[in-house]
Amino acid sequence: MVDSIARKALLIAVAVALPPVLVVYLSTASGVARLASSVFGALLILVSWLLARSLARRINRLTDFADRLLDMSVPRPQLPASDDELGDLARSLSRMAPQLEELVNRLRNELTRREAILGSMTDGVLAVDARLNVTFCNNAFIKTVGNHGPAEGVPLIQIVRDPALFQIVKQVVDSGAEQRKRLQLSTPKMHSFDVHAVPLASTSSRGAIAIFHDVTPSERLDRIRRDFVANVSHEFRTPLATIRGYAETLLNGGLEDEDNRRKFVEIIFANGVRLSNIAADLLALSEIEGGRSEAEGGPISVGDVIRGAVGAIEPTASVAGVRVQCEEIPECYVFGHRTRFEQSIVNLIDNAVKFNKPNGEVRIQVFSESDDCIQIAISDTGTGIPQRDLTRIFERFYRVDKARSRQVGGTGLGLSIVKHAVEQMNGTVKAESQLGKGSRFTITLPRYTFPVAAA
Ligand code: ADP
């Protein structure tokens, strides 16, 4: 310790004691006087050095205590009590220690809480410093840009491949003004994000923090809604225009046209029926999608429903020259909303008849590949469905042959109703087909077993 207090005190004591001793030596030849002045000088130096060393030790202990104030892992030394100024400093440090400890604990808890919140957010969060190095990012952000190893401390340009995203963050850091933008990022599929970046000010430098909100699902919903409205208006427009046209014809003299007036009214009637069929199917679909029918669920006998549906369709089938064959149905039950289930089975048998050929056949089978599931298969020998359309026929208003569907009174909503109703019963529906040979629709549903009554 080159500059220690003890050393300095020793030098000062030597500097103070040495001149009087020298003066005594030079001014007198008395041995006693010389000895006395030497002893006095030595004592002065020794006492000064001892005092200074004790002071230095106490200061060292205070320094040691202050050094350990922020390190909670090591126990702090006990400070000696004394009544001088150093004692006051020791008491002040002892009072500060628990307050500081509490503050550090509070900050640590707050930091852990914030990290947990940011980490569990579904929105991506990214923070950078003034030099565009990443200081924080959560898992959602890593998912957005792809995992390129540890991100913190790494330059943003190495993590973000998208120049537009990099530019937004850079602009905020450079200008200090917030930015909002919609970006398309491949994550790895293309997703749309609303990015909101704001400056992050600290006393020394400016960084930025950006939030990435994935708007792909809401964009998709918007598109579905727009398509749906367009489809519905399109479906309504043709029958409405026909009704209007024929009504005008009747009003403008058609009523007197005895040969044709009945035909005109029949056309108006057929289009009216078509409109009400579309409205009924739309209502059914919205009820199923809204989940309103779930409350009325109960056990349903599969055999009862199939026999009822076959009975309802047989007259139409015999007019079309199609034979409906139902194999023996084992007694089994499913759970759900009966009307919707009936409607689904009727829709499938109805399609199998509608899209069949004269002298064609519809076959209905009920079987189970496992104890807890029931399969209902409806096969026909009809026109079949091209492979490319098979995945789309369950979409609303999707038809393979629009003209034929309209001609046979289809709304294009039948299979959507089937799909939604079956899914609501925790089941699935699949379609297989061979063009020109026929199609087979299979519904798979969980088997319902009645609870065993307690004895
Ligand atoms: P639609 O009211 O037109 O029958 P669906 O939603 O029930 O509407 O069916 C959609 C389309 O799927 C039909 O227009 C038809 O092109 C095709 N389709 C459905 N079932 C069959 C089937 N059994 N055979 C051939 N094509 C079918």
Ligand 1 pocket, residue 360 CB under 6 Å = no
Name which residue sits closest to atom 11 of ligand 1, judged by CA. 399
Q: Say if ligand 1 is within 6 A of residue 124 CB.
A: no
pLDDT tier at 451, thresholds 50, 70, 90: confident
Ligand 1 centroid to residue 183 C-alpha, Å: 39
pLDDT band (50, 70, 90) for residue 66: confident
Distance CA 395, CA 402 (A): 14
Q: Which tokens go with 20?
A: 């009087």
In short, whether 347's Cβ falls inside 6 Å of ligand 1 is yes
Is the CB of 399 within 6 Å of ligand 1? yes
pLDDT band at 307 (very low <50, low <70, confident <90, very high): very high
Establish if 248 belongs to a structural domain. yes
| Of 289, 307, 342, the domain-final residue | 289
Digit-coded pLDDT (tens) for 216-272: 999 989 988 898 889 889 889 989 999 999 999 999 998 998 888 999 999 999 999
Whether the predicted pLDDT of 293 surpasses 70: no
Q: What is the CATH number of the domain that holds 138?
A: 3.30.450.20
pLDDT at residue 203, as a whole number: 58
Q: Which atom of ligand 1 is nearest to the CA of 416?
A: 6
Does any domain span residue 453? no
| 446 pLDDT above the threshold of 90 | yes
Residue 391 CA to ligand 1 center (angstroms) comes to 12
Q: Within this chain, do residues 143 and 160 fall inside the same structural domain, yes or no? A: yes
User: Is 454's pLDDT higher than 70?
Assistant: no
The pLDDT value given to residue 285: 87
Band (pLDDT 50/70/90 cuts) for residue 79 is: confident
**Residue 252, domain extent:** 219-289
**Residues constituting the chain:** 455
Q: Rounded mean pLDDT of 378-407?
A: 90
Q: Residue 73 falls within a domain, yes or no?
A: yes
pTM higher than 0.75: no
Comparing CA positions, the residue from 171, 210, 209, 216 lying closest to residue 193 is 216
User: Which residue did the predictor score with more confidence, 55 or 346?
Assistant: 346
Q: Does residue 109 sit within a domain?
A: no
Residue 400 beta carbon below 6 angstroms from any ligand 1 atom? yes
Q: Are residues 385 and 256 in the same domain?
A: no
**136 and 78 share one domain:** no
CB atoms within 10 A of CB 31: 8
Q: How many domains does the chain have?
A: 4
b/e 4-26 (16+ beta carbons within 10 angstroms → b): ebbeebbeebeeebeeebeebee
